[in-house]
Amino acid sequence: MLALAPGLSEEVIFRAIPASNWMRVSGERSEVVKCVAVTSAAFALIHGINLLAGAALSSTLFQLFYAFCIGALFCAVLLRTGTIWPCVIMHTIIDFTSFLTADMDNVGILSEGVTINLEFWLALVAAIALLAWSAYLLRPAKQAEIVALWKGKWHKG
């Protein structure tokens, strides 16, 4: 439940509601990337609250970047599939694995500053890969498909 609750609630709050409404209102190809960027930025910024829990600034800044990248992928998946459930499942798995490795007495790895080591470089490469995957899913050749999918969801009849 500790992994499912944030996975479900954050996907609804930061992707399902804003992205669905954005596509309903705009319905334009030119808005697809803007929708992903804005919803991902909002998702990233909410993770800044970790500073109040004692997280190190450098760790929080890296988490903001990583959250933006993963938010972009999740929004791309939502826009391409028309459903939030793959995002909820992926988010829950990520949170579950984080709980397995976190120091529950503190803010876990966020309590320490970023150390430039192999783990950092792997996380940075992973974040960039998430952005690349998002860009692939949202490539211009697929944007018309995305718009058609969302128009079909809202303009039935």
Residue 157: pLDDT over 70: no
78 vs 19: CA distance, rounded Å:
8
90 vs 71: CA distance, rounded Å:
11
85 vs 17: CA distance, rounded Å:
13
Backbone dihedral region of 108: left (phi > 0), alpha (psi from -120 to 50 degrees) or beta? left
* Residue 131 and residue 72 in contact, taking contact as beta carbons nearer than 8 Å: yes
Stretch 14-31: mean pLDDT? 91
Who wins on pLDDT, 113 or 16?
A: 16
Stretch 125-148: mean pLDDT? 94
* Residue 48 and residue 60 in contact, taking contact as beta carbons nearer than 8 Å: yes
Confidence of residue 59 (pLDDT cuts 50, 70, 90): confident
Stretch 102-127: mean pLDDT? 70
pTM for the full predicted model: 0.86
72 vs 148: CA distance, rounded Å:
20
Residue 32: pLDDT over 50: yes
